[in-house]
């Protein structure tokens, strides 16, 4: 949707990039030449068209400012509304959805789109927020998710994935047939929000173009008509033409990579070659960045997401995103804006439960400084007919500063995007820019007392020769946030870092210069008039100052109009200025400064109604139409005082929730049960699967037989038990085992009930182990803690790397039979036939307590002992407790389980809340110690069941101190959150 009447930083970039070039090499084109371009489409529809400059949606130019959101990482559909409201409040106009095949299909031919998998609710939330949708259904998605989104059962397929073959094509088409039932009716052509549809994901290595073509063909057969897209992981030009080609090519970029351990290091400069590549590679399409770095993932043993936030902070956003606009990008999708949680066993190899990703919105739904920077960049969109003319714009910055000068096709507007040539520079540099305008050529700033500076790791979009509302801006050395017209005056909000100089020049439209007056109560504001140009100098304050220019504009009917200039300091005020579109209008906006979040504004009669969040007592400033006389905040009247220049001021009083009820988990009764009967020789494993396969479709070649790979027996995630029996003899001196699984996996061994040790994955030979019997039957019990499958980014079937044991042989005897050890295997109850379909294929593994429902609400634990979890106990242990929570209406209080353990004991723990696994804690590896519990999963107005399974890798382990703590406390207008369906013990399927 194109909004009129407000220009902002992203507006400038959008305008600048509809037809941009670098200042060094721009050919001169006339406006007539520049406007002869016709729109293109794919011949299947004409609602989404394009040219070399931008998308054209419903006949209007659109800069697609989009962010990634994964519904499958937030299994509480009502919270999808909350997150996407925040997208909209941060001025995104689009959202990208991956669709996770494995999340919906536990077994071949079985698909589930109900409950937390009801993706229609995701489309509805996007529509309600007014967001365009990029659909990305794979089949492969990567996303640091288990198997890259492939279902577990696909890992046993004979044929290679991501290659065209009868078997793989049939499986891929099966998935697309199911997901397309939702994609097709949600296209813009059907009244929905999907405007682009991606083919597979980052398909760049070992490619088979006919596989790509097969997916594209299947989408078309099912009725997908919106433009197809391809996200190249680098600028290679794949699938621009030929077999498998798409409508609009684009690429991905993660310029500072993912080394969160060194957050101050930016390893490379921002790209300056993309424009030339685009012009030579796909010049008839807009420049598209389908995944641009919005954060960073963290890995097992990593430094944690707080350090990742420093790596990809608001300064990263300032520099790299503005460089994208300078290069010409008009489709930019940030990966991720909200990361979420890889709950259950859904995390891919190498990553842990939290997928916060250091996004603009945290895992708990809180806003970060980067979020506010994105709001500044993303505010509003230019008129659909405003483009840029390819002509050289001279400037003379110093050698340390790179300035991309861009000029409009249809108007005289100029845009200068300034950044350090050395992108990681922390230097503060001053510089001048020569700007050519219809009012003359100026070297700015003109005042000898004023400096134009660029902080280290900063970038600026500066505007010149720009008409807005009834005013004409000659130039400004401040960045523009927004502008808006009200009845008797216009408003312009500009900003820069505190104490930076600012200079702004206006061309007076009033011929009687004596009527024009510049007034301000702020110190340091000065002005002068020469040749009908008023020059205003000021310093950016702590907070916001106002400068009022009377009779500077012309409303087009011969009437003069005043201008209110609001000058904001970046950190103290600009980040908390909001300009929400008035509900049920196309472009009318009101302005408010101060709140943590403004979700919505509406006007009824002479009253403005705001909906939003605050986190403390919040002074506010409001600028609204003249006829507005009253205000409400979250449905309650607030008293504001109208001051000078029509600025209303007041205070939003933060009231701490008086009846907030949070338990002290340390003081509760915890129930305990030992939980490793599988280690006892006489354990009844008659219902377990006999491991007797002699062949496998895994890419891992076994070193002994039978095959002991969990996926081959239908167990695809979580803990896996193996029991092997062999007859003792004096010749047998032990056994040799090699375990294989991903990073942070491990295994524990027992022989005849005796603990042998806990190990990282790899080989261990047990010579003369304790408990080995030379006569009679020996029972070897092995517990494999798995941590997710590798993806298939290289399209070489690496997601089929085995999880299990590649070697299991006896020591001391030669010429042994593959049947000398009789093996059985057990994973999650039911395997691919889920015991708990509501929670799905990733929630459970094969621990005894998981199989028998100890993690579920309603399980009868009355016979369990009341204990302290902090006591060291041998063997696996389960702890259960229940507690009440009450978060009153009108508040958002995200809660998290915290585990504090300063010991070096090697143990792992699974955290279940109301039956949902929301934490995989690894005490000796880390880094995660805080586990977010989303509302809807957590009952915030009632009773909750907490169960924790402890798996010692040392002989015994204690559970560290467990607490429930708020991540934040907000007075909030967040949408109501209903409880998700969380079946209890009585509803559990048995096998």
pLDDT digits (tens, 9 = 90+) for 118-128: 999 999 999 99
- Please give the structure tokens belonging to residue 940: 């915030």
Q: Is the per-residue pLDDT at 219 higher than 60? A: yes
**For all residues of the chain together, what is the average pLDDT?**
93
For residue 16, count CB atoms less than 10 angstroms from its CB and return exposed for 0-12, middle for 13-18, buried for 19 or more.
Answer: buried
pLDDT band of 395, cuts 50, 70, 90: low
The predicted model gives 296-325 an average pLDDT of 97
DSSP 8-state symbol, 46 = S
Instruction: Please list the residues that pair with 562 across neighbouring strands.
Output: 489
pLDDT at 388: 39
Return phi, psi of residue 259, to 5°.
-90, 80
Q: What pTM value is reported for the model?
A: 0.95
The predicted model gives 808-832 an average pLDDT of 96
Q: What whole-number distance in Å separates Cα of residue 204 and Cα of residue 208?
A: 9
pLDDT at 398: 67
pLDDT at 991: 64
Q: What whole-number distance in Å separates Cα of residue 873 and Cα of residue 954?
A: 10
Q: Which residue has the tokens 């599988």?
A: 678
**CB atoms closer than 10 angstroms to residue 201:** 27
**CB atoms closer than 10 angstroms to residue 158:** 9
Contact 213, 234 (CB under 8 A): no
User: How many CA atoms lie less than 13 Å away from 152 in the CB half-sphere?
Assistant: 29
The predicted model gives 512-518 an average pLDDT of 85
pLDDT band of 511, cuts 50, 70, 90: confident
Q: Is the per-residue pLDDT at 5 higher than 60? A: no
Instruction: Please list the residues that pair with 964 across neighbouring strands.
Output: 897
Contact 340, 143 (CB under 8 A): no
Q: What whole-number distance in Å separates Cα of residue 780 and Cα of residue 186?
A: 54
- DSSP helix/strand/coil, 324: helix
Contact 952, 921 (CB under 8 A): no
Q: What whole-number distance in Å separates Cα of residue 758 and Cα of residue 762?
A: 11
Give the residue among 201, 217, 244, 229 at the shortest CA–CA distance from 134: 229
Q: Provide the annotated active-site residues.
A: 202, 291
Q: What whole-number distance in Å separates Cα of residue 361 and Cα of residue 339?
A: 8
Task: Name 51's Cβ contacts closer than 8 Å, sequence gap at least 6.
Answer: 37, 38, 39, 40, 284, 286
DSSP 8-state symbol, 60 = E
Q: What whole-number distance in Å separates Cα of residue 991 and Cα of residue 863?
A: 24
Instruction: Please list the residues that pair with 875 across neighbouring strands.
Output: none
Q: What whole-number distance in Å separates Cα of residue 761 and Cα of residue 918?
A: 24
Angle at 428 between CA 427 and CA 430, to 5 degrees: 130
Contact 406, 388 (CB under 8 A): yes
Q: What whole-number distance in Å separates Cα of residue 254 and Cα of residue 239?
A: 21
Q: Is the per-residue pLDDT at 37 higher than 70? A: no
* pLDDT tens readout for residues 159-182: 999 999 999 999 999 999 999 999
pLDDT band of 18, cuts 50, 70, 90: very low
The separation between CA 866 and the C-alpha centre of its own chain, rounded to angstroms, equals: 41
Q: What whole-number distance in Å separates Cα of residue 771 and Cα of residue 736?
A: 16
Q: Is the per-residue pLDDT at 129 higher than 90? A: yes
Sign of the Cα torsion 761, 767, 772, 778 reads: positive
Q: What whole-number distance in Å separates Cα of residue 959 and Cα of residue 872?
A: 8
- DSSP helix/strand/coil, 102: helix
User: How many CA atoms lie less than 13 Å away from 560 in the CB half-sphere?
Assistant: 16
pLDDT at 396: 57
Beta strands in 241-362 (DSSP E): 248-253, 287-293, 329-338
pLDDT band of 38, cuts 50, 70, 90: confident
pLDDT at 289: 98
Q: Is the per-residue pLDDT at 925 higher than 90? A: yes
The predicted model gives 517-525 an average pLDDT of 94
Sign of the Cα torsion 537, 538, 539, 543 reads: negative
Angle at 185 between CA 181 and CA 186, to 5 degrees: 110
For residue 151, count CB atoms less than 10 angstroms from its CB and return exposed for 0-12, middle for 13-18, buried for 19 or more.
Answer: buried
pLDDT band of 764, cuts 50, 70, 90: very high
Helix (H) or strand (E) holding 847: none
C-alpha dihedral over 405, 409, 411, 415, to 10 degrees? -20
Q: What whole-number distance in Å separates Cα of residue 88 and Cα of residue 66?
A: 10
Give the residue among 699, 535, 596, 680 at the shortest CA–CA distance from 971: 596
């Amino acid at each position: 949707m194109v909004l009129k009447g407000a220009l902002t930083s992203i507006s400038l970039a959008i305008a600048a990039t509809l037809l941009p070039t670098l200042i060094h090499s721009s050919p001169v084109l006339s406006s007539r030449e520049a406007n002869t371009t016709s729109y293109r489409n794919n011949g299947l529809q004409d609602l989404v068209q394009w040219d070399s400059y931008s998308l054209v949606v419903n006949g209007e130019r659109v800069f697609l400012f989009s962010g990634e959101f994964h519904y499958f990482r937030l299994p509480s559909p009502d919270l999808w509304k909350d997150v996407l409201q925040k997208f909209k409040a941060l001025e995104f106009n689009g959202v990208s959805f991956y669709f996770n095949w494995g999340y919906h299909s536990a077994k071949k031919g079985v698909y589930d789109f109900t409950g937390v998998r009801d993706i229609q609710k995701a489309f509805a939330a996007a529509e309600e927020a007014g967001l365009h949708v990029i659909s990305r259904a794979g089949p492969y998605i990567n996303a640091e998710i288990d198997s890259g989104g492939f279902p577990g059962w696909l890992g046993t397929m004979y044929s290679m994935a991501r290659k065209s073959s009868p078997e793989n094509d049939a499986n891929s088409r099966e998935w697309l047939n199911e997901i397309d039932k939702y994609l097709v009716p949600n296209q813009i052509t059907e009244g929905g929000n999907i405007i682009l549809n991606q083919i597979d994901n980052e398909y760049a290595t070992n490619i088979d173009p006919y596989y790509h073509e097969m997916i594209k063909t299947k989408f078309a057969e099912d009725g997908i008509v919106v433009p197809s897209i391809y996200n190249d992981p680098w600028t290679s030009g794949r699938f621009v033409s030929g077999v498998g080609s798409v409508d609009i090519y684009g690429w991905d970029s993660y310029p500072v990579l993912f080394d969160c351990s060194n957050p101050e290091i930016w390893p490379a400069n921002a790209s300056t070659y993309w424009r030339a590549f685009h012009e030579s590679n796909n010049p008839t399409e807009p420049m598209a960045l389908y995944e641009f770095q919005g954060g960073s993932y963290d890995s097992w043993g990593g430094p944690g997401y707080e350090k990742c936030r420093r790596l990809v902070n608001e300064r990263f956003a300032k520099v790299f995103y503005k460089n994208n606009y300078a290069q010409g990008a008009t489709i930019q999708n940030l990966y991720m804006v909200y990361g979420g949680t890889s709950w259950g066993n859904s995390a891919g190899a190498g990553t842990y439960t939290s997928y916060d990703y250091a996004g603009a919105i945290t895992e708990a739904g809180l806003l970060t400084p980067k979020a506010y920077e994105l709001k500044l960049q993303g505010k509003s969109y230019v008129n659909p007919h405003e483009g840029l003319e390819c002509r050289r714009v001279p400037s003379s910055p110093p050698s340390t500063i790179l300035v991309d000068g861009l000029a409009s096709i249809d108007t005289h507007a100029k845009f200068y995007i300034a950044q350090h040539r050395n992108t990681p520079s922390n230097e503060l540099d001053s510089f001048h820019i020569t700007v050519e305008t219809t009012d003359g050529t100026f070297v700015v700033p003109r005042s000898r007392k004023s400096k134009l500076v660029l902080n280290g790791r900063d970038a600026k979009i500066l505007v010149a020769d720009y008409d807005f509302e009834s005013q004409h801006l000659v130039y400004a050395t401040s960045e523009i946030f927004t502008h808006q017209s009200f009845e008797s005056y216009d408003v312009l909000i500009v900003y820069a870092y505190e104490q930076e100089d600012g200079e702004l020049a206006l061309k007076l439209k009033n011929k009687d210069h004596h009527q024009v007056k510049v007034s301000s109560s702020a110190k340091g504001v000065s002005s002068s008039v020469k040749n009908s140009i008023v020059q205003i100098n000021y310093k950016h304050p702590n907070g916001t100052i106002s400068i009022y220019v009377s009779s500077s504009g012309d409303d087009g009917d011969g009437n003069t109009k005043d201008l209110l200039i609001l000058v904001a300091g970046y950190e103290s005020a600009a980040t908390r200025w909001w300009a929400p579109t008035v509900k049920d209008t196309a472009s009318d906006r009101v302005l408010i400064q101060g709140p943590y979040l403004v979700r919505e504004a509406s006007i009824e009669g002479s009253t403005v109604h705001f909906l939003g969040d605050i986190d403390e007592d919040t002074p506010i400033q409001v600028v609204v139409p003249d006829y507005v006389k009253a205000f409400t905040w979250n449905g309650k009247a607030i008293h504001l005082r109208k001051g000078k220049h029509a600025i209303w001021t007041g205070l939003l009083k933060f009231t701490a929730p008086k009846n907030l009820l949070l338990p002290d988990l340390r003081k509760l009764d915890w129930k305990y049960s030992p939980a490793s009967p599988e280690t006892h020789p006489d354990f009844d494993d008659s219902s377990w699967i006999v491991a007797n396969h002699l062949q496998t479709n895994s890419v891992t070649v076994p070193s002994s037989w039978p095959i002991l790979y969990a996926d081959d027996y239908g167990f695809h995630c979580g803990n896996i038990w193996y029991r092997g029996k062999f007859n003792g003899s004096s010749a047998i001196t032990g056994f040799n085992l090699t375990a294989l699984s991903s990073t942070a996996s491990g295994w524990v061994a027992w022989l005849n009930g005796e603990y042998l040790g806990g190990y990282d994955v790899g080989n261990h030979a047990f010579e003369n182990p304790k408990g080995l019997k030379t006569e009679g039957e020996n029972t070897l019990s092995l517990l494999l803690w798995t941590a997710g499958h590798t993806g298939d980014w290289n399209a070489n079937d690496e997601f089929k790397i085995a999880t299990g044991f590649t070697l299991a042989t006896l020591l001391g005897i030669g010429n042994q039979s593959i049947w000398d050890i009789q093996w059985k295997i057990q994973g999650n109850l039911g395997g691919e036939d889920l015991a708990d379909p509501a929670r799905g294929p990733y929630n459970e593994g094969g621990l005894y307590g998981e199989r028998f429902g100890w993690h579920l609400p309603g399980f009868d634990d009355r016979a369990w002992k009341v204990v302290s979890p902090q006591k060291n106990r041998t063997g696996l242990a389960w702890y259960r407790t229940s507690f009440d929570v009450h978060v009153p209406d009108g508040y958002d209080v995200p809660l998290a389980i915290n585990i504090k353990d300063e010991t070096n004991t090697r143990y792992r723990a699974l955290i279940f809340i109301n039956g949902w696994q929301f934490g995989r804690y690894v005490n000796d590896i880390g880094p995660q110690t805080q586990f977010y519990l989303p509302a809807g999963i957590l009952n915030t107005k009632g009773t909750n069941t907490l169960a924790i399974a402890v798996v010692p890798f040392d002989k015994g382990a204690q559970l560290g101190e467990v607490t429930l703590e708020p991540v934040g406390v907000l007075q909030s207008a967040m949408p109501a959150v209903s409880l998700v369906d969380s079946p209890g013990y009585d509803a559990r399927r048995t096998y």
